[in-house]
Structure 1
Amino acid sequence: MRSHLLNDTTAELYRSSVSEGVERVAAKLATTTRPFTGVTPDALAPTIDAVDLDRPLHDTIAVLDELEDVYLRDAVYFHHPRYLAHLNCPVVIPAVLGEAILSAVNSSLDTWDQSAGGTLIERKLIDWTAGRIGLGPAADGVFTSGGSQSNLQALLLARQEAKPGPGGWEGTADLAKLRIFASEVSHFSVKKSATLLGLDAKAVVSVPVDKDKRMQTVALAAELERCREDGLVPMAVVATAGTTDFGSIDPLPEIAELCAQYSTWMHVDAAYGCGLLVSPKNRDRLTGIERADSVTVDYHKSFFQPVSSSAVLVRDGATLRHATYHAEYLNPRRTVAERIPNQVDKSLQTTRRFDALKLWMTLRVMGADGIGNLFDEVCDLAREGWELLAADPRFDVVVEPSLSTLVYRYIPAAVTDPAEIDRANLYARKALFASGDAVVAGTKVGERQYLKFTLLNPETTLADISAVLDLIAGHAEQYLGESLDRAS
């Protein structure tokens, strides 16, 4: 019905509808006492299944009332200080304002004639980020949907630049020669990207990590030399600046030296660690990133932006031509000569949201130091949390944090069976989630089950961490007690 189209005649309806929705969310944020209600899929599914999408309610208030039951009541709220699980951040208000504006105007950032100022704002932010990294005057990039897409595009460019044959590409057989080197704790999107790029199943070479979960450069050097001796082509090295599980940062300067020695594309996956780019006191942890050929940044992690907001940056903007295709109805070749700035010439996507506006609003309201100070706070909290865990005999903590992640394991003194301890940790995580009192993540270190705090909320305190550890220990002890009763 036309009465619901956003235009000059429905501006008041737009204002009242959005205001009512904002009021509902604001009330929820103000009164939420737990990060989760503990609802199960089986309990929630019937409520959603009962909604007949072919029978609209024809009333915004009624729909918002319904939304309370199907979504708002049982959402997992990342703003709560005891949400400690994944790389989800609480969002800053200027970015949420930007989200509201970009959704209503609905610019598409593929061509100039659909976005105008939006195109220039995005380009300005790309230049700003490349400057923060230190990529140099020829740098460029584009916003993406997230780190996985950014990594895919970076590796596409690396593949096209590799040129394994003496005269360039010699056909699809050449793909089997390409190798990508990444640490054993790198993001799974590296392997997924290799598959999407048509590379051999053995294309991704897993490089061992040291005790701090950083890529071993001695092992990388050996793998690169073996690659060359075997007549293969070292297409790219993916260094991680903030691994998902440990927040570890690979030795970027040493990796850069090896990439230069072997004429290999250096990609830095800084989806998590990019927050250090605006850190007033920890920026040096990214030393060496300025030598990368490409960099992934996820603003929707450590820049406190709403999903989605990511970018891929490249040292040489000319390499983005490998993602360029022209269509007469959209970005004909003549527009290049006319110097019309069409962002689709750089992107894997065509229609694309104006996600850059969120970061623009944030920088213009808070400034870079304002964002960086928030990230520094969670990094400081992780250090305090590590000291707490290291001093607690109930827990084993894996590595000192480089960013804001803590991986640990409950270790009861009276139990020696590692498999039983695994089950106790798994049970504790599930029981905690079911209670809704807190949300933590889980992972494996070797073959053993561990738990994980991903600290991205500056409102979280050491007291919150301590309280959650007590809850975990309590749930684990309950499981072990019941297990002992069953055995007897």
Structure 2
Amino acid sequence: MTLTNKEIKAEVMEELFLHSGESGQASFQKQMTEMIAILSRTFQDATAPYIGKQPKMVQDEIASLIKFPNETQNFTELLQEIAEPILKNSLQVSHEKSIAHLHCPPLIPAIAAEIVISSFNQSLDSWDQSTAATYLEQEMIKWLTKKFGYTANSDGTFTSGGTQSNYTGLLLARDEFCYRKWGRDVKLDGLPSQFHKLRILCSEDAHFTVQKTAAQLGLGVNAVITVKVDEYHRMSPMHLKKQLIDLKEKDLLPFALVGTCGTTDFGSIDPLVELATIAKEEELWFHVDAAYGGALILSESYNWKLEGIKAADSITVDFHKLFYQPISCGAFLVKNSQSFRFLNHHADYLNPIEDDGEGIPNLVNKSIVTTRRFDAFKLFLSLKTVGIRLFSEMIDATFYLAQETANYLSHQPNIKVENKNPELNTVIFRFEPQTSTGDVCKLNRKIQQEMLYESKAAIAKTSVNGRTYLKFTMLNPRTKMKHIYEIVEEIQTLGWKWREHT
């Protein structure tokens, strides 16, 4: 019997999707097996965080791939085609010497969870698209709010990360203030004429998304008033009070205070208890950006550093940092669930009002986005597999490593350490030779680049008071002092090599 072209195409399509049929099952298992095998080989062969190629070379190799066939391509052959330009050219964030950014090694159960999330391809906007996933996210939100000290009246939603969470917090803060002060429903009527007077306060070292959010909310970057930090890069309550007095004298309207629990560079934690008190006295919405430091809720040794966070009106927490989840995975938590009313819009095809009356939860009511992945499952599966105690030990191990690293660097010649007592697990330092006629900032930038291009390590660079520094961000609990010793030795070698050429 000869198959027609239409029948052949139908048979091929049966192999392209995961379904209950035999062909779909067999194709899924075969391709997953092959993908796992090539990934395992890629990780097994990796001797450094990065293969060392310059950006232009990688760009050219990727560009050569963008040729799409008219007919189907053999999956096994395709994997061989992408092995070098994509897989081998990728940064190995799980490598012990990958200590550049807030970029964590993902847990294996979380990677496995990604397969489930992608296979079902549910969207968390409406219940009839996500069913069980809706309830699991709600239960995970309940667990999180309780861990952060919130009451049963609180709520939250999973987000793509800190940017989305910080945006949501300040959006709710703006709309709540406009409604309370002027009876203005911004969602319905837009911003009031006095909107140009609105101000947000945060520290000088707060995340740039505060300014970015102000711009997107129509307030402008200049609506963000920065507060000075102390020698440990924590917001100064005294200067905050001075800024508030100054704003009132200028007839301006501060409506939100952003406290940071874990600044990007120094991991500094603002004095949350004092800030909460000031926010309450001044009737400010208190938002805490704990994208980085929020993992302290799982730490047995350091969770005391979160004291005061339960007074926040809203909280940002990321799980693709110290919770070891694949990107992206974060959450936005709010003290009063009624605050979400400023986001709620109804669409007849998606979240009709009748669903509310019947108790059907459509999570789009709590989110600034519509389509949303089932990211809560990754965190759920990880916590179930690893357990709270081991999670705590892994997180604490990175804090211990940071302190030991800072101590070690402090005793190295030609090394200046900026934070000798790390708040979390970042260490800021620079190679500063006493006998050099070159530009030390350019020298440290060169060291950071050459470490990557020579496949030695992935470390970061940053700026402190206008000067270039190097940064270790030690999220990986598998990184040990022996790796730090080797990295520092390479930094010293490169520093002396390039000291007169920059």
Candidates 15, 18, 31, aligned match of 1:17 = 31
Query: What corresponds to 1:261 in structure 2?
Result: 281
**In the TM superposition, what is the alpha-carbon distance from 1:392 to its structure 2 partner?**
1.8
Evaluate the alpha carbon distance shift between residue 52 and residue 396 of structure 1 in structure 2; reply closer, same or farther with a 3 A threshold: closer
User: Is this contact kept in 2: 1:164–1:233, CA < 8 A?
Assistant: no
**In the TM superposition, what is the alpha-carbon distance from 1:47 to its structure 2 partner?**
2.1
Gaps of 5+ in 1: 484-488
Candidates 48, 51, 54, aligned match of 1:37 = 51
Which whole-Å deviations, capped at 9, do the CAs of 1:166-199 have from their partners, x for residues lacking one?
5323944222111111111111111101101000
Query: What corresponds to 1:50 in structure 2?
Result: 64
**In the TM superposition, what is the alpha-carbon distance from 1:421 to its structure 2 partner?**
0.9
Q: Supply the AA of the counterpart residue of 1:441.
A: A
Candidates 413, 416, 420, aligned match of 2:439 = 420
Identity, in percent, stands at 36
Q: Distance in 2 between matches of 1:446 and 1:71?
A: 37
**1:107 aligned onto 2:126:** no
**In the TM superposition, what is the alpha-carbon distance from 1:285 to its structure 2 partner?**
0.8
**1:408 aligned onto 2:422:** no
Query: What corresponds to 1:5 in structure 2?
Result: 17
5 Å matches for 1:295-374?
295-374=315-394
Candidates 224, 228, 237, aligned match of 1:208 = 228
Query: What corresponds to 1:385 in structure 2?
Result: 405
Which whole-Å deviations, capped at 9, do the CAs of 1:191-245 have from their partners, x for residues lacking one?
1011010003321011111110111111111112222232222111111100001
Q: Which range is displaced more, 281-290 or 468-477?
A: 468-477
Q: Supply the AA of the counterpart residue of 2:89.
A: D
Evaluate the alpha carbon distance shift between residue 374 and residue 351 of structure 1 in structure 2; reply closer, same or farther with a 3 A threshold: same
Q: Supply the AA of the counterpart residue of 1:251.
A: P
Candidates 423, 444, 456, aligned match of 2:463 = 444
**1:236 aligned onto 2:217:** no
Evaluate the alpha carbon distance shift between residue 37 and residue 176 of structure 1 in structure 2; reply closer, same or farther with a 3 A threshold: same
SS in 2 for 1:402: coil
Aligned length, in residue pairs: 481
User: Is this contact kept in 2: 1:175–1:200, CA < 8 A?
Assistant: no
SS in 2 for 1:363: helix
Q: Distance in 1 between matches of 2:370 and 2:480?
A: 42
Q: Distance in 2 between matches of 1:103 and 1:201?
A: 38
Which whole-Å deviations, capped at 9, do the CAs of 1:277-300 have from their partners, x for residues lacking one?
111111001111111000000011
Which whole-Å deviations, capped at 9, do the CAs of 1:275-328 have from their partners, x for residues lacking one?
101111110011111110000000110100011110000000110111111101
Query: What corresponds to 1:188 in structure 2?
Result: 208
**In the TM superposition, what is the alpha-carbon distance from 1:403 to its structure 2 partner?**
0.4
**In the TM superposition, what is the alpha-carbon distance from 1:165 to its structure 2 partner?**
7.7
Query: What corresponds to 1:471 in structure 2?
Result: 490
**In the TM superposition, what is the alpha-carbon distance from 1:46 to its structure 2 partner?**
2.5
Q: Distance in 2 between matches of 1:53 and 1:352?
A: 31
Which whole-Å deviations, capped at 9, do the CAs of 1:121-160 have from their partners, x for residues lacking one?
1011111111110021111000011110000001100001
Q: Supply the AA of the counterpart residue of 2:446.
A: Y
Q: Distance in 2 between matches of 1:181 and 1:276?
A: 24
SS in 1 for 2:152: coil
Q: Supply the AA of the counterpart residue of 1:37.
A: I
Evaluate the alpha carbon distance shift between residue 256 and residue 52 of structure 1 in structure 2; reply closer, same or farther with a 3 A threshold: closer
Which whole-Å deviations, capped at 9, do the CAs of 1:410-451 have from their partners, x for residues lacking one?
110113x6x711111111111111111101101110111101
SS in 2 for 1:43: helix
**In the TM superposition, what is the alpha-carbon distance from 1:57 to its structure 2 partner?**
5.5
Query: What corresponds to 1:486 in structure 2?
Result: none
Evaluate the alpha carbon distance shift between residue 201 and residue 79 of structure 1 in structure 2; reply closer, same or farther with a 3 A threshold: closer
Q: Supply the AA of the counterpart residue of 1:46.
A: D
Q: Supply the AA of the counterpart residue of 2:481.
A: L
User: Is this contact kept in 2: 1:151–1:190, CA < 8 A?
Assistant: yes
Candidates 88, 91, 115, aligned match of 1:76 = 91
**1:276 aligned onto 2:296:** yes
User: Is this contact kept in 2: 1:135–1:292, CA < 8 A?
Assistant: no
Q: Distance in 2 between matches of 1:315 and 1:466?
A: 45
Q: Distance in 1 between matches of 2:209 and 2:182?
A: 31
User: Is this contact kept in 2: 1:34–1:437, CA < 8 A?
Assistant: yes
Q: Distance in 2 between matches of 1:30 and 1:235?
A: 52
**1:220 aligned onto 2:240:** yes
Candidates 310, 327, 351, aligned match of 1:290 = 310
User: Is this contact kept in 1: 2:233–2:266, CA < 8 A?
Assistant: yes
User: Is this contact kept in 1: 2:62–2:86, CA < 8 A?
Assistant: no
Evaluate the alpha carbon distance shift between residue 346 and residue 255 of structure 1 in structure 2; reply closer, same or farther with a 3 A threshold: same
Candidates 479, 482, 495, aligned match of 1:460 = 479
Q: Distance in 1 between matches of 2:225 and 2:157?
A: 28
Q: Distance in 2 between matches of 1:165 and 1:149?
A: 24
Q: Distance in 1 between matches of 2:409 and 2:61?
A: 41
- Structure-2-length-normalised TM-score: 0.93
Q: Distance in 2 between matches of 1:390 and 1:354?
A: 44
Evaluate the alpha carbon distance shift between residue 201 and residue 274 of structure 1 in structure 2; reply closer, same or farther with a 3 A threshold: closer
Q: Which range is displaced more, 78-87 or 391-400?
A: 391-400
SS in 2 for 1:191: helix
SS in 2 for 1:401: coil
Q: Distance in 2 between matches of 1:328 and 1:61?
A: 45
**In the TM superposition, what is the alpha-carbon distance from 1:5 to its structure 2 partner?**
1.9
Q: Distance in 1 between matches of 2:377 and 2:231?
A: 40
**In the TM superposition, what is the alpha-carbon distance from 1:164 to its structure 2 partner?**
7.5
SS in 1 for 2:301: coil
User: Is this contact kept in 2: 1:82–1:439, CA < 8 A?
Assistant: yes
Which whole-Å deviations, capped at 9, do the CAs of 1:58-117 have from their partners, x for residues lacking one?
211011111202211111001100001000111111111111111111111111101111
**In the TM superposition, what is the alpha-carbon distance from 1:336 to its structure 2 partner?**
1.1
User: Is this contact kept in 2: 1:304–1:371, CA < 8 A?
Assistant: no
User: Is this contact kept in 1: 2:212–2:221, CA < 8 A?
Assistant: no
Query: What corresponds to 2:5 in structure 1?
Result: none
Evaluate the alpha carbon distance shift between residue 166 and residue 73 of structure 1 in structure 2; reply closer, same or farther with a 3 A threshold: closer
Q: Distance in 2 between matches of 1:50 and 1:283?
A: 49
Candidates 105, 117, 131, aligned match of 1:90 = 105
**1:177 aligned onto 2:194:** no
Q: Supply the AA of the counterpart residue of 1:197.
A: L
Q: Supply the AA of the counterpart residue of 1:54.
A: F
- Structure-1-length-normalised TM-score: 0.96
